[in-house]
Each structure stands twice: as C-alpha cells, then as structure tokens.
A and B are shown apart, each in its own frame.
Chain A
Amino acid sequence: MIKVQFFSLLRMLLKQERIELSAIEGETVAQLLARLQKQLPTPFLHKLLDDDGRMHAGTIILVNRHNIHHLQGLQTPLNDNDVVAMFPPGAGG
C-alpha cells in the first residue's frame, strides 16, 4: 500500500487527512496524483499542477520525508509502503 497524507489547506479541501492506495509497480508521483484525482470527489490537482502538468510553487510533496524536488520530481517512482505527504506551508511570520 501507499500512504498518502494531506496537510493544511489540502486536508481542508479534501476533507480527509489520509488515504491508502494499492501500490502499482513502476508508478510515478504524477501517475499517483492522477489516480488520486479519479478516486477523490473533490477536484484538487489544479492546486498542485498547471495545465501542462508542471508543479505550481506552493505545495511541497515529500516521499518518505524527502522533497520530490530533490528526487525525480513528479517522475519519482513509488514503491510499496511509501509515504507521500502533500503540504502547502505558510510563509508569513
């Protein structure tokens, strides 16, 4: 299984903190997001990606605690038992 966690505004938008999906061999973060969007009733992909499928600034995506910016971005491959976290941190102070 892959555990997906939603934080802050994403949690509020989706009205849930987490979801577990079966792992699919070779699946990437981008493919997981597309699968999530089909499964969840609330549109959320537009908060993460632009029309060309590139990430907006704002929400960080961590796979097993590591930001995908420092992995393979949206093409980061996922494996069984991975934890994917999505979090739009606050910038003010």
Chain B
Amino acid sequence: MIEVKDLSFKFKKKPVLENINIRFGEGEFILIAGNNGAGKSTFLRCLTGVLSPLSGSVYFKDGLSKRRIGYIPDGLGFFENLTLKTAINFHTRVFRTGGFDDSLLKELDLDPDSKVKTLSVGERTLFLFSLILAQKPRLLLLDEILHAVDAYLRDIFLDRLLDMIAQYNTTVIAVNHTFTEIEKIPERVLVMENGGFIIDEKTDTLREKVKKIELGPDEPVPDDLPVLFKKETPYIREYYVYPFEEKMRTGFDLEFRDLNLADILKSFIGGYYVKKRV
C-alpha cells in the first residue's frame, strides 16, 4: 500500500535518513524502535508529507487519499486556543469527513465549549485521535504518544485503536519507547539506527532470534557467541545473543532464555550505544 523508495533527508547538512527502501502493506501494524535521534520521527513526518524528502519518494498505492491518513505527533501543540467544538468543525471541514462521533468525548467527560489548551496531555491525545477517527483512517502514524498518557486513558486509547483497526483495516505505524502495553499487537518490528533500518522482521521471528544467557561470576563468555549487548554488574552478568540459532543450545553448555519484545528492543538500542562508544 505504501512504497518508500531511496528516501533520504538532511537537517542542516547532517544526514537524518539515508536511502530508505521499504514497503508497508494494508492492515499491517508496524512498530518502529530505535535510539533517540535515529530518525524515527523524521521518517514518520516524511510519510505524512509534513517534511519533503531531499531525495527519493513515498508512493501511496490503491488511491490512498491524504484525507485518510491520520498522524499523532510527539508534541501536541495544535488548536491551542480553539474550543473543542470549533476544532472539530475545522478538522471535519479540512478533511471533508462525514459525521464526528462524540462518544469518546462523552466517555472522557470533555466539555465541547472548553479550550483545547485546558486539556491534559493524555486528553489531548485522545481528542486528536477522535478527530482522526472521523477521517476513517486507512493509515495511522503514531509518534511516541503512549508515554505521556496515563494508564487509564491508555486503556481507552488502545480499545479505540483496536476498534478502528477492525473497522477500517487501518495500517498503523507506531514509533515507540514504551512497549509493554502494545507488545502483543505488532506483527512486524523495525529497528532504526543512524537513519536506516537495521532490523525488519516479523515479531515472531525476532523473538526466536534474540535470547539471553546469564553467566556466573567466573564463567567465561564463549568467543564465538554473537553478543549484541551485555549487562555486567557485580551481581548480574547478562548477555543478549543475536542472531541466535537453535543449534547453539547443543553447541554451548548454556541456557538460552526467551525475552519479551521490550527487552529485545532494549538490547538493540543498547547495542547502538555500545557501538558508538567503541
């Protein structure tokens, strides 16, 4: 549905995105992780068209109209001085959407006559999401929005998000630092580093490929073990192995443990900092 070709972007002569080629299919839920400054937000902005790439292109196939693309940015400085009611009118006119469903506002007990700036960060996120829902989105881009939303609102948001996906078969691309709540949802995971994707895997495949071993204080680390990231304290010696292969279980006399997605992504991001120091 979306095809990104040779996409590059520079900010003040510094390359932010370098020659990205990637495709996203209809109804996919993709999680993008990576260290701060890897280029994740810039990539999303290039997809929305907010930023024009230096070179390369983003194709939307099957007649995907910009009106059906929703984007929730990291900083939410929108419609500050408007009342909710005015903002709704404005948004539905610009995106030429049909009726606005106010059930979410009612659930959150938000007054349509209050100003957007009086809402909490979490409420604003959900308010913007309710505007986007009126667009019947076929593509939704989420830029690290869950961390600022409290647990109660996060729950409401996730319910509505899953409803939306079921209803419109929306493709969702989510940039995230907090994974636990949504970690069962994405079927595909990307890891970004230095403006490019270093990992593009089905979630289930990635889970098979990253394992953890724990060593005792005097046990040596086997030389030929591919260690992605390690954690060493006087009490803990943990090594994250990637790419893990099943035959290693017999090759090494070690216990290879499964990891949750949050730990897997943490080890890739940690691996970046290790490489940077070397």
A-B complex is real: no
Identify the A interface with B (CB < 8 A).
none
